Amino acid sequence: MNNLEKRLNKELEDKEFQQLYEEERLKLEIANILFDLREKEGLNQTQFAKKVKKSRSSIIRMERGITEPSISMLEDIATALGKKLEIKFVDK
């Protein structure tokens, strides 16, 4: 385990930090999913934005994890790409 991992594990003992960390982790996970989806479609950000009828700036913010897309926005993206949005609850 490197120093960063050790420090993170220590910080995660704090409940407030743990909550903030989880919120950011989820944003980044969604960002990565959207980025991967766009890449698999073979589209740049402008093309992707046009296809899903969203602004390029909103796509950029979502892919960077700056903004968290709403469920309705994710549904719109899925529909525009001929996909189905699926959300799951899993054990920790």
86 assigned to some structural domain:
no
Residue 40 belongs to a domain with what CATH number? Answer: 1.10.260.40
38 assigned to some structural domain:
yes
85 assigned to some structural domain:
no
d(CA 92, CA 82): 31
Q: Are 85 and 78 in contact (CB under 8 A)?
A: yes
Residue 38 confidence class, pLDDT cut points 50, 70, 90: very high
Which pLDDT belongs to residue 92? 77
44 assigned to some structural domain:
yes
Q: For 55, list phi and psi in degrees, rounded to 5.
A: -75, 150
Mean residue pLDDT across the chain: 93
Percent of the chain with pLDDT over 70: 100
Q: Are 60 and 45 in contact (CB under 8 A)?
A: yes
Percent of the chain with pLDDT over 90: 80
Q: Mention every residue, 6+ apart, whose C-beta is less than 8 A from residue 61.
A: 67
Query: What tens digit of pLDDT does each residue of 13-30 get?
Result: 999 999 999 889 988 999
Query: What tens digit of pLDDT does each residue of 56-76 get?
Result: 999 999 999 999 899 999 999
